[in-house]
Amino acid sequence: MANLKYDHIVVRYGELSTKGKNRKEFVRQLFHNIKKRLADYPKLDYQVQHDGLFIKLNGEDYLKIKDDLKQVFGYAYFAGAIISSLDIEEIKETALTIATMKEHRTFKVATKRNDKSYPLRSDDINRAVAGHILSHSDLKVDVHNPDLKIYISIKHDGAYIMDEKVKGLGGYPTGINGRSMLMLSGGIDSPVAGFLTMKRGLKIECIHFASMPYTSAQALEKVKTLAKKLSVYQEDIILHIIPFTELQLAIYDNCDESYAITIMRRMMYRIADELCKRRKIKTITNGESIGQVASQTPESISVIAKVSDTLILRPVCMYDKLEIIEIAKMIDTFETSILPYEDCCTIFDPKNPVTKPKEDRVLHYEAKFDYQSLVNACVENDQIVKLSYRDQEEDIF
Ligand code: ATP
Ligand code: MG
């Protein structure tokens, strides 16, 4: 590829623009998230303006930054830009530089005047710039389907000249809507649920129920790897590892096998609920999808969820498995999720799990043992680790 000469990146807010009074806060969070994600590029200079975030490259590598910036939620698109003075001769030259940076055959120029006091109208600028490119390159004009679109934005402090617009992930800046506790198994669905939750502006913490020694150290490593992969969208992730074995064994000692999964999942919710209260987290997220397995029929989900009064978010509830897999591939969790390590559900896999559990039977089994002490012990023995795609794991308790 020809040498890219961009000196700026322009990030346009998009969905944020409609947010009225909260807009300031959104822009602040977006700016904070972008700055953290691009911390590896110390020479960048940032300027927050009402219509976008302007980043001066100061020699940093645009192509590398581009990949990192694509992993931040909350903006519509960004573009590499060269900023010229408002002198039309310099605008023409700069546009020609942009036009010849990459291989193209056809082009079109589209100008927008943010500064209406500029003496030339948009059409005049389009014509002047296109004429200059036509006479100094082999490019031809195609107004309907050009290979290259050159965008010129006339602002009071200069002309911003851009070519490609790189679409962002959309959504809201992560963190703007508080936090959610993601129930993270080693499967395909829950990392995708986590991604979609972060996209809605919620920062996630994760809770994982581990059944050592029935589940292996590798199974836990897999969950940590998934959490690290999710951390690219929010810098780092707190993972709560809950020792679940004793409670699980008590369930199997006291309950009919067909009800074991229903009751086990109620215990998971009880623990997640308590942890949310302790950490002042307002929602639980999980990867449940209607009809996918016996515990995810509408009847099962409602009997299971009754034990929690924290709001439960189920981002993939209505998705087909194939749609979930597509996102898992896009966020690079799929290959990890399909590694064949057992999880706590596959270890105690009952032959005929009930698909329409009756609440009175559930309560009958639960009354047979002191589950509350075991739930409390799980919460007390929570092992907390902070994980980041950037560094080694760190125990914080
Ligand atoms: P996944 O692909 O995410 O594992 P699944 O289709 O296997 O989902 P289940 O095993 O029934 O479904 O679990 C439903 C949801 O419950 C998971 O998506 C996850 O959010 C949560 N969950 C299940 N097992 C665990 C676990 N060991 N630790 C934490 N959360 C869990
Ligand atoms: Mg699972």
- Over residues 221-233, the pLDDT tens digits come to 999 999 999 999 9
Q: Whose CA is nearest to atom 20 of ligand 1?
A: 286
Which is it for the CA torsion 58, 63, 65, 69, positive or negative? positive
Q: Which atom of ligand 1 is nearest to the CA of 295?
A: 11
Q: How many CB atoms lie within 10 A of CB 309?
A: 10
Pick from 23-27, 105-109, 193-197, 327-331: least confident: 23-27
Q: Whose CA is nearest to atom 18 of ligand 1?
A: 287
Q: Whose CA is nearest to atom 4 of ligand 1?
A: 187
- Beta-bridged to residue 166, according to DSSP, are 78
Q: How many CB atoms lie within 10 A of CB 151?
A: 20
392 vs 302 pLDDT, higher one = 302
CA distance 134 to 339: 55
Percent of the chain with pLDDT over 90: 81
Name residue 109's amino acid.
V
User: Position of tokens 């490259």?
Assistant: 57
SS3 state of residue 211:
coil
Q: Whose CA is nearest to atom 9 of ligand 1?
A: 288
**61-93 pLDDT tens trace:** 999 999 999 999 999 999 999 999 999 999 999
CA distance 308 to 132: 67
CA distance 313 to 180: 9
Say how many Å lie between the CA of residue 265 and the centre of ligand 1. 9
* Pocket flag, ligand 1, residue 344 (CB < 6 Å): yes
- Decide if 65 contacts 81 (C-beta within 8 A): no
Q: Which atom of ligand 1 is nearest to the CA of 210?
A: 27
pLDDT band at 1; cut points 50, 70, 90: very low
pLDDT at 17: 55
- Decide if 230 contacts 372 (C-beta within 8 A): no
CA distance 190 to 196: 10
Concatenated DSSP letters of 248-309: HHHHHHHS-GGGHHHHHHHHHHHHHHHHHHHTT--EEE----TTSSGGGSHHHHHHHHTT--
* Pocket flag, ligand 1, residue 183 (CB < 6 Å): yes
Q: Relative to the alpha carbon of 336, which ligand is closest?
A: 1
Strands (E), the chain: 8-12, 45-49, 52-56, 77-84, 106-113, 140-141, 148-155, 158-162, 166-167, 179-183, 203-210, 237-243, 283-285, 311-313, 383-387, 394-395
User: For 189, phi and psi rounded to 5 degrees?
Assistant: -75, -45
CA distance 118 to 85: 12
pLDDT at 393: 52
Q: Which atom of ligand 1 is nearest to the CA of 186?
A: 4
CA distance 37 to 29: 12
| CA-angle at 218, arms to 213 and 223, nearest 5° | 105
Query: pTM for the whole thing?
Result: 0.92
**183-202 pLDDT tens trace:** 999 999 999 999 999 999 99
pLDDT at 396 over 70: no
* Pocket flag, ligand 1, residue 269 (CB < 6 Å): no
Q: Which atom of ligand 1 is nearest to the CA of 316?
A: 18
pLDDT band at 234; cut points 50, 70, 90: very high
Q: Whose CA is nearest to atom 12 of ligand 1?
A: 288
pLDDT at 59 over 80: yes
Q: Whose CA is nearest to atom 17 of ligand 1?
A: 287
* Pocket flag, ligand 1, residue 286 (CB < 6 Å): yes
CA distance 248 to 265: 10
pLDDT at 244 over 90: yes
State which of 182, 184, 185 you would mutate to test the pocket of ligand 1, scoring each by most atoms of that ligand within 8 A of its C-beta.
185
pLDDT at 344 over 80: no
pLDDT band at 160; cut points 50, 70, 90: very high
Q: What is the largest CA-CA distance in the chain?
A: 87
State which of 180, 188, 189, 325 you would mutate to test the pocket of ligand 1, scoring each by most atoms of that ligand within 8 A of its C-beta.
189
Q: How many CB atoms lie within 10 A of CB 112?
A: 12
**370-384 pLDDT tens trace:** 999 999 999 999 999
Say how many Å lie between the CA of residue 345 and the centre of ligand 2. 7
* Pocket flag, ligand 1, residue 187 (CB < 6 Å): yes
Pick from 123-127, 140-144, 391-395: least confident: 391-395
Q: Whose CA is nearest to atom 26 of ligand 1?
A: 185
Say how many Å lie between the CA of residue 125 and the centre of ligand 2. 58
pLDDT at 353: 87
What CA–CA distances, in Å, run from 39 to 43, 44, 65, 390?
9, 9, 10, 11
* Pocket flag, ligand 1, residue 57 (CB < 6 Å): no
- Long-range pairs for 387-392: beta carbons < 8 A, 24 or more residues apart: 387/224, 387/227, 387/228, 387/231, 387/236, 387/237, 387/238, 387/239, 388/228, 388/231, 388/235, 388/236, 388/237, 389/228, 389/229, 389/231, 389/232, 390/235, 390/236
* Pocket flag, ligand 1, residue 284 (CB < 6 Å): no
* Pocket flag, ligand 1, residue 276 (CB < 6 Å): no
Q: Whose CA is nearest to atom 21 of ligand 1?
A: 183
How many residues are listed for the chain in this entry?
397
